[in-house]
Amino acid sequence: MTKTTSWETLADAKRKAVRSKIPLDWILPNELLYKYDSTSKESVLDIPAKFLSPKELDITENHTPAELLDSIKASKISSLDAIKAFSHRAAIATQLTNCCTEIMFEYGIKRAKFLDNYLIENKKPYGLLHGLPISLKDSFNVPGYDSTIGYVKRIGNMPKEESDLVKLLLDLGANFYVKTNIPQTLMTADSENNIFGRTLNPGCLNKTAGGSSGGEGALIQMRGSILGFGTDIAGSIRIPSLCCGVYGYRPSAKRIPVGNEEEPSHRDPHISILPVAGPLSTDMESLVMVTKSIIDHKPWNYGLETFRIPYQDPGVSADSKLRIGFIFEDPNLPVHPPLKRILKEAKEKLSSVGHNVEIIDNHPSFDYAWELAWKLFQVDAKDSSFKDLIELNEKLIKSLTLPGIEVYGEGPKDINGVINLKEEVQIYTFEWLTIFKDYDVIIAPGAPSMAPPHDTYGIAPYTGVWNLVDFPATIIPFGNANANIDKDDGTVYPEKLKHIYAHYDPETYDGAIGHVQVVAPHLEDEKLLACSVIIDKVLNAK
């Protein structure tokens, strides 16, 4: 890469090189592609069915990850057929939504052949996740493929060693075939960058797919993947999950390895908020399955920072009656009418089957949590996350230039300021721990609304709060907005956030997928997952 080459030229060449790896007979007709862009209100969820074979459609459409895994282990579906089917569907999905970055179909096919031969020769699977296709956020390193994370400067970086989690998943027998799109710097909820463009929401293309694991959310919603991994430092797993109507899990820090990934900052120590890696999927039980598989495989042998905590008895069973605290909104961060209704419906459903549900009105401020988190994110005196942009004079994406964020203040300027800020976080965390003593889990919104229009998501207090205190959380899709029911209720939205906090318009969210966020205290991940399965079965009973 030379300094005389413009970033636009470099980005264009990289984009074309990646797209050239899609087989020609998988390229969608131009007349179809020209119909859709980021201003389209249409859904593209039904398009893959028009181009897949019956066999590919069955593999990608009719199995949960756990069911597909069982079929592959039992030789009912070969690993090769599985990876080819999901590769084809991912190729369709990325042409319609820009959800993928690195195309790794050859990698997946080569590994699938190895796994199929291993099963035949050894009469047993290679590991607990034998042959299961898994998609990866672009930040995960796979040798031979770039991890640009949306920086033109990092084109061609091709890491020589796998990320810690990638190594672990490979040893469990998993297979990879795509990496997925992210926002420039990973610090916005709109997955757009100057290399691969903007990821669109498959259910409504003019809405955001979320970020920073937005490519994962979009790909899984289109079932170009049914299980993938993202990372989360302020909601980057849960925001795409709630925007795209899929399941997502943010674990407590250091339960799942997160080492040797590509990061925006060139500085390794995390003084602010610890990043985590976690799964997104088409169903809740598969999040439990893959998490248990990882922890049973002693992840501390892969990432030295990972806690040596075996998988714990969650302390609840399928027929347990849970103690659930319910939070509808922070008065300083009003929730839009559709989501208020959906949260109330969730509460009523859970109460109707015998769960002990209590409304929590007096709780710590989500708005204050975001202020603390925002100041912590600025603890980088060298501002290294922008260094690679400055060197090439690469332009910022629009969502990074939204006005209004500065109202939360500047970060600490010296070590004393950092210590004072950390003390505030500790006091705030203890306030939540006191509340959690009375409940198994707490249910709260994950955002003020459903997926908003592009470049309007703004701040993330309803997810970022749990990163700040390091509590595990899941997103469960539930309910839909209805313009005929969810009228403007007269709520006055904060003037200080007028540029980044969208005013409610019933038509904007009509039909959009709702959600609940389920939260448990620090390191009670197994309990969170078990409770989330119970809650999901009540809310989404067939």
Dump the DSSP string for 345-363: HHHHHHHHTT-EEEE--S-
> What whole-number distance in Å separates Cα of residue 397 and Cα of residue 195?
11
Q: Is the full-model pTM beyond 0.95?
A: yes
DSSP state of 313: P
Over residues 455-504, the pLDDT tens digits come to 999 899 999 999 999 999 999 999 999 999 999 998 888 877 766 666 78
Task: Say whether 20 counts as a known binding-site residue.
Answer: no
* Residues annotated as part of the active site: 137, 212, 236
CB 136 within 8 A of CB 258: no
> Is the backbone of residue 235 left (phi > 0), alpha (psi -120 to 50) or beta?
left
Contact criterion met (CB below 8 Å) for 390 and 423: no
In sequence order, the 6+-apart residues with CB closer than 8 A to the CB of 41 are: 204, 205, 206
- Asked if residue 235 belongs to a known ligand binding site, the reply is yes
Ligand-binding site membership of 38 (annotated): no
CB within 8 A of 466, min separation 6: which ones? Answer: 250, 472, 473, 519
User: Using omega within 30 degrees of 0 as the cis cutoff, is the peptide bond preceding 212 cis?
Assistant: yes
Q: Say whether 317 counts as a known binding-site residue.
A: no
User: Of 269, 330, 278, 338, which Cα lies nearest the Cα of 305?
Assistant: 269
| pLDDT value of position 266 | 65
Provide the residue-wise pLDDT of the chain in tens; the chain has 542 residues: 445 689 999 999 999 999 999 999 999 999 999 999 999 999 999 999 999 999 999 999 999 999 999 999 999 999 999 999 999 999 999 999 999 999 999 999 999 999 999 999 999 999 999 999 999 999 999 999 999 999 999 999 999 999 999 999 999 999 999 999 999 999 999 999 999 999 999 999 999 999 999 999 999 999 999 999 999 999 999 999 999 999 999 999 999 999 999 998 866 556 779 999 999 999 999 999 999 999 999 999 999 899 999 999 999 999 999 999 999 999 999 999 999 999 999 999 999 999 999 999 999 999 999 999 999 988 875 566 788 999 999 999 999 887 656 678 888 989 999 999 999 999 999 999 999 999 999 999 999 999 999 999 989 999 999 999 999 999 999 999 999 999 999 888 887 776 666 678 899 999 999 999 999 999 999 999 999 999 999 999 97
Tell me: the pLDDT tens digits for 426-466?
999 999 999 999 999 999 999 999 999 999 998 999 999 99
> Which candidate, 9, 455, 397, 535, places its Cα nearest to that of 189?
455
Domains of the chain: 7-297 (3.90.1300.10), 323-540 (3.90.1300.10)
186 is in an annotated binding site: yes
